[in-house]
């Protein structure tokens, strides 16, 4: 009986490196901005950042957004007809997810109407990235606009 338990334990341990190695491919190391534009489920973004939900649409391409001025870690995307514009900048990338700064420009050049740090994650290489507002702060991306409202509403009460 002891031999059987030892063999099972060794078998389980031998599969652990394979499981860990499989996670390395979840996020790319190059062309991260392009990856985000292609693989982000925009319906998972905070309400102030995402377009109005429409049945069957999930990605920026589905909603008619096109990338402009893309580089390794930063891009600007614009909706068809120029009705909405968002800037996405990679702040930090870890095996647990990608921290990005998503900014909606304001009317005055250089000012943000809305800006927030969003953590993008996915379970495996076959799923879309899911986004949620992050508690983590970055000097390069101070929170501006609509992302501040939930904490104000909680403080004010009903």
DSSP assignment of 78-141 equals E-GGGS-EEEEEEEEEETTEEEEEEEEE-SSTT-EEEEEEEEEE-SSTTS-BEEEE-S---TTS
**Per-residue pLDDT reduced to its tens digit, 74-107:** 999 999 888 889 999 999 999 889 999 999 887 7
pTM to 2 decimal places: 0.74
Nearest to 102 by CA among 85, 123, 83, 82: 85
Name the β-bridge partners of 74.
Answer: 89
**Per-residue pLDDT reduced to its tens digit, 111-142:** 778 899 999 999 888 899 999 999 999 999 99
């Amino acid at each position: 009986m002891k031999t059987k338990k030892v063999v099972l334990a060794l078998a389980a341990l031998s599969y652990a490196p394979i499981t860990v190695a499989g996670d390395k491919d979840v996020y790319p190391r190059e062309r991260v901005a392009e990856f985000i534009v292609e693989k982000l489920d925009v319906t998972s973004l905070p309400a102030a950042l995402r377009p109005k939900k429409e049945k069957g649409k999930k990605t920026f391409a589905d909603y008619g957004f096109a990338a402009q001025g893309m580089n390794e870690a930063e891009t600007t995307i614009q909706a068809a007809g120029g009705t909405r514009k968002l800037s996405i900048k990679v702040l930090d990338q870890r095996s647990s997810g990608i921290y990005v700064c998503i900014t909606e420009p304001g009317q005055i050049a250089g000012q943000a109407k809305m800006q927030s740090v969003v953590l993008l994650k996915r379970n495996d290489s076959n799923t879309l990235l899911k986004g949620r507002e992050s508690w983590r702060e970055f000097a390069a991306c101070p929170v501006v606009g609509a992302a501040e409202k939930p904490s104000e509403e909680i403080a004010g009460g009903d």
